Amino acid sequence: MRTHDMLNSDGQAGSLTTFPRWQLVADRLDTLVTGPSAEQLVVAKSLGVPLSGSLPAPVAAVVIRHHLSAELRIGFRAVDDVPEVLGDIEDELGVTRTESLITGTHEEVTAWFESRYILKTIRGLRALRPQVGDVVSSAGWKAGERRVISTIQDSGRIFMKLKPVRSAWPNNLETVERVGSPGYAAAVKSVGESVLNATVSASTNLDNFAPLAKYELKSHVPAPEAIRALEELLESGEKREEPLQKVLTQYPELLASTVVGGWKTFVIPKPRLGSEYVPDFLVLGINSVGPQWVTIEIEGARHKILTNKGKLAQQTRHAIEQVEDWREWLTRNVSYAQMEQGYHGLTTRAPGLVIIGRDDPAAERQASRARSEEAARIAVHSWDWLLRGARNLSGHALYKTKFAVDNLNEQVGKQVVSLPVSSASTFDELFAEDEDEEFNRLPW
């Protein structure tokens, strides 16, 4: 709780009133989406830039920067139209759709996404009214898992106590017991139990890859709206695989951390290997030592990686078998795949990646040990692992996952790239080093 002066009806400072943290954050965020800031209006007026009084501050900032782009030598990326997914979010929020762009730039699209997600966060804060110490749950966590709120960030994101690390946007949380309620002590006692139970070298001639141009990422760094979209799906407890496939297709840069793409990165959704097999994704990173391919199969976040007896769960085995099936196809059709389909450098040695279930590092390590020698190049990781990789890449453009580095070194037969010894190699480690700084890099 914080104490601030209240203004009475005459505009004079009245008695001191205490405001909860969630309200302070919601009110501050509200100023960002209800219109340009006073400072933005002054700057816009001095420059002769018209700003609508209802234009969200993040969008207003882009409009002003775009006006000064030549003087400030700022580059902007042009876009053809407003993405349909933005309209879907606006329909969900019940606000007027953004029908056209003022600047016609990718940066403005990102600002509109930021503004709409801020509005979603504001509504979540005001509905949840969270306080430090409240016991909460989320449909995106493991069944029966509960957590105690530790902090509410300026962005509105809420962090929890205990390990493994948990955080969520307020619109994806439900209150189990509030601080001081009759059932609070029992709820806090149950939290610990719930957490315990939850708890190749080839030619680098780029002309070879011209047929894949439409799959090339314009930027390998995930945009904030891409990270938020995946967060929303996981935190909402989405049980189906299709929405996850859709969000990765809409934001392919979410998969960029799975390869070392120093020169170019490509993400190919539902590539056809002949007429027989269709992996969920092929990811290609081109670097100084050649193309690095990864074949990806995804399963729903609701599935477990292992059974209660520590064996590979049925859905995990199914996904691994799919990887093995199209590897077998490649042994007979490698020339066709490379020359006719344009997948130069793709061989049966390309590592496979299965993304399934929610965070369980112990299960992921055990799954690696449980695989047969034939499947030794098939890794199993959770959706939270992928999300951490995207967050890290968003904050550190040169970030590489250990998965990507190890595969590249194995491909070449020696260590050609390594993770910085002094830096954290996982998001959990980054979080442990500086929790607030890491998440405050995100604009919502």
For the residues 83-93, what does the mean pLDDT come to? 95
* Residue 9 burial (C-beta neighbours within 10 Å; 0-12, 13-18, 19+): exposed
pLDDT of residue 275: 65
Query: Residue 352 CB: number of other CB atoms within 10 A?
Result: 21
Find out whether 33 and 115 touch, Cβ atoms under 8 Å.
yes
pLDDT of residue 9: 36
pLDDT of residue 408: 81
For residue 366, pLDDT over 50 is answered with: yes
pLDDT in tens, 252-272: 999 999 998 778 999 999 987
Round to whole Å and give the CA distance between 126 and 111. Answer: 23
Four-residue CA torsion sign, 102, 106, 108, 114: positive
Percent of the chain with pLDDT over 90: 53
Tokens read off for 129: 């009214």
CATH code of domain 206-440:
3.40.91
Q: How remote is the C-alpha of 155 from its chain's centroid?
A: 16
User: Hey, what CATH class is 130-198 in?
Assistant: mainly beta
pLDDT of residue 362: 62
For the residues 196-212, what does the mean pLDDT come to? 63
The residues near 241 (Cβ < 8 Å, ≥ 6 apart) are 298, 299, 300
Four-residue CA torsion sign, 426, 432, 434, 436: positive
The confidence band for 440, taking pLDDT boundaries of 50, 70 and 90, is very low
Round to whole Å and give the CA distance between 40 and 12. Answer: 26
Region(s) of the chain under CATH 2.30.30: 130-198
pLDDT in tens, 150-162: 999 999 999 998 7
Find out whether 111 and 61 touch, Cβ atoms under 8 Å.
yes
The confidence band for 8, taking pLDDT boundaries of 50, 70 and 90, is very low
Which residues are registered as beta bridge partners of 265? 285
- When mean pLDDT is compared across 61-75, 225-239, 286-300, 400-414, the lowest value belongs to 400-414
The confidence band for 409, taking pLDDT boundaries of 50, 70 and 90, is confident
Which residues are registered as beta bridge partners of 408? none
Among candidates 389, 377, 241, which has minimal Cα distance to 315?
Answer: 241
* Residue 437 burial (C-beta neighbours within 10 Å; 0-12, 13-18, 19+): exposed
Tokens 């989405």 belong to which residue?
Answer: 238
The residues near 128 (Cβ < 8 Å, ≥ 6 apart) are 22, 136, 170, 171, 173, 174, 175
Q: What is the DSSP code string of 9-75?
A: TTS-EEEEEEE-HHHHHHHHHHHHHSS--HHHHHHHHHHT----TTS-HHHHHHHHHHHTHHHHT--
pLDDT of residue 280: 92
Tokens read off for 344: 């130069």
b/e map 244-278, b = 16+ CB within 10 Å: beebbeebbbbbbbbbbbbebbbbbbebebeeebe
What Å distances lie between residue 355 and 2, 217, 367, 391, 432, CA to CA? 43, 21, 12, 17, 24
403 against 371, higher pLDDT: 403
What Å distances lie between residue 382 and 161, 306, 360, 377, CA to CA? 21, 12, 7, 17
Query: Residue 48 CB: number of other CB atoms within 10 A?
Result: 7
- When mean pLDDT is compared across 2-6, 28-32, 33-37, the lowest value belongs to 2-6
pLDDT of residue 306: 87
Tokens 């400030």 belong to which residue?
Answer: 72
Find out whether 113 and 229 touch, Cβ atoms under 8 Å.
no
Tell me the whole-structure pTM to 2 decimals: 0.75
- When mean pLDDT is compared across 82-86, 187-191, 354-358, 368-372, the lowest value belongs to 368-372
Region(s) of the chain under CATH 3.40.91: 206-440
- When mean pLDDT is compared across 73-82, 241-250, 303-312, 425-434, the lowest value belongs to 425-434
Q: What is the dihedral of CA 403, 110, 139, 176, to 10 degrees?
A: 120
pLDDT of residue 216: 94
How does the average pLDDT of the chain come out, rounded?
A: 82
| Eight-class DSSP state of 395 | H
